[in-house]
Structure 1
């Protein structure tokens, strides 16, 4: 491949005065990608090429390009796709007080019954989200440093609330005055890829996955989704899966019966739908054959900004329950591969309370999950 020609094309494309959008370019061959990065380093003085962001996990880069541009001259050697935006579900801020140290969802999945056996001790969960409130008293003992992919060099502080809520359900640990999450001795690594509005580019999500793989996270929690399929995101998910990382993803909140959001739709993830207190599928939850398991997601209380608490609903909340449960399982059975963990979850599900629900689907039950893992 003519790497010099590609760089000239890229440099020219990035100087065109037209409406631009972010794009992801992936290389078919690792040798071409390495040569491209080497030339990029040699041309570091170029202002246009400085904005090119390498994504080694998928042998790719992200950069600003004119809309409608194609790479026909390099067809079969590189692939171009739009760097789409993903959003976490916005929620109005509602300060709440904790009535009980154990939220209903944590009780419902029977996590407390497992704490005499496992608390998720030192299992590492990468939460790709809006960051975390480092000052929250319920989370201070559960945190790793993490990374801020939006403002490199700054700590991944939460300026939205969603990431703090997710982290609280997974691993909050302050039973005396606050709340307890599903796996209170697991460790959360906040990976801030979403801004204060709850928006992120696919390229930043992929960089977050790469960080989690490189830093040996056991689990990646992805409480977000999009309707468009991204081959670049799929490539990142496959690489993480092959590295033994368990990816848990939310199915989406559109109330659809035959589809779920990406990346939950990829078979390498554990796709999570939401239930309510009655063990029924929540009306907002996507459902159907693509769902691997359901978990509590309706009116879930968890940690929020400035040491407060907030009630939120969504498959995002259900996903955090499953990530916590897997942390409990991995603490007892370290090294279990992703496929085996999915199989254990499916074997141990509680049937849903609905005449219309298929018998092949069900709700998370931590106690049954641990028993199923012993019998495998």
Structure 2
């Protein structure tokens, strides 16, 4: 039934069982079979959705069994990389400006720091990992997981995850930069390889890890065009556990369509703005977007103690995750739905969005949302 991935005609799939009991029965039987004779197939249990990922030979996709509810291909998914036209080489940590990047300043985080800096809020960043040696992230990183090689630390070999983490929680006002919530804790979940690619099953396992380790927020700066039931089930589980899930909408400049997982209703979907408080030209937009945040020419931490200026809805998403950390540090019991609603109510209008029907929220404002919580 299950076949080794080495075969050219094999593809990775996710098999969903009808319920927890059926899932448990399968795992028990599989373990017993393994003891009796070597099983060539490698399976990866995915407890959060009562499923397994494995390789199926062509034609097995129509597999039928009373215990199996659904089978889908385990497709590749990519981080929302910077819009190439806006990408620049490494930039010095200090130019004429201060330690606070323009995006952090535009959403008024520094004014909010009088009240909170996001202390003790745990953020799972499902991405390419993190640069443990970066001075701006020292003291901000806690236990994570490397889903590509569980024996290794989730070290970043791409740069994207380090950039996201810096915008959320960098804390080096003396010689580097400061993020939106400089006392928040980043838990790096490495699901993406050095090319910024992961499988859906890796993402689901990352969400599972975040749920089991009681994250307050999950940052997902990546996207795909196809709907995945596995990913949706995992997001629903995180939402039910009270975790705020934040995702980037995509960088194609589309007016009526955004990527998954941002398109799921349980997720806070984020579009990008410029320093002129307008929607960035590359950002997906429209009524599917819940909120907007700075995402154009964002300077943040990079590999080898460096800094990089990147643009994309990925960068916008990290600003939103940081503001949610500030909110939860003041009122820990806020539900994901309450967080989304408060951020939308207190957001600032964006040029060109006012007259459009169905617009949910504008650009986030840290000071306004914290005042709303206190009122």
* Residue number in structure 2 paired with 1:305: 303
1:43 match: 33
Return closer, same or farther for 1:227/1:59 CA change in 2, 3 Å cut-off. Answer: same
Residue 108 of structure 1: aligned partner? 106
Task: State which of 63, 82, 91 in structure 2 corresponds to 1:96.
Answer: 91
Structure 1's 43 and 75: CA in aligned 2 closer, same or farther, altered over 3 A?
closer
- For residues 138 and 14 of structure 2, the distance between their equivalents in structure 1, rounded to whole angstroms, comes to 36
Distance 1:372 1:207, change over 3 A: same
Output aligned runs, 1:303-342, within 5 Å: 303-342=301-340
Cross-structure match for 1:293: 291
Distance (whole Å) between structure 2 residues aligned to residue 167 and residue 144 of structure 1 = 12
Q: Which residue of structure 1 lines up, in the alignment, with residue 365 of structure 2?
A: 365
1:1-20 equivalence runs, <5 A: 9-10=1-2, 13-14=3-4, 17-20=7-10
CA deviation map 1:161-201 (0-9, x unaligned): 00000000000001001000000000000000000000000
> What's the counterpart of residue 30 of structure 1?
20
Partners of 2:252 and 2:65 in 1: CA distance? 39
Q: Return the offset for 1:67.
A: 3.4
TM-score in terms of structure 2 length: 0.94
TM-score normalised by L of structure 1:
0.93
1:209-268 CA-partner distances (Å, limit 9, x unpaired): 000000000000000000000001000000110011110000000111111100000000
The answer to whether 1:354 aligns with 2:352 is: yes
Cα distance 1:331–1:318, how it changes in 2: closer, same or farther (>3 A)? same
Compute the RMSD of aligned alpha carbons. Answer: 1.7
CA contact (8 A) 1:71 1:79 kept: no
For the 8 Å contact 1:98–1:309, the answer to whether it is kept is yes
Q: What is the Cα deviation at residue 43 of structure 1?
A: 2.4
Shift of 1:68: 4.4
How many Å apart are 1:112 and its aligned residue? 0.3
1:289 Cα offset (Å): 1.0
Gaps (5+ residues) in structure 2?
A: none
Structure 1: gaps spanning 5 or more residues: 1-8
| Post-superposition offset of 1:74 | 1.9
Mapping of 1:49-68 within 5 angstroms?
Answer: 51-68=42-59
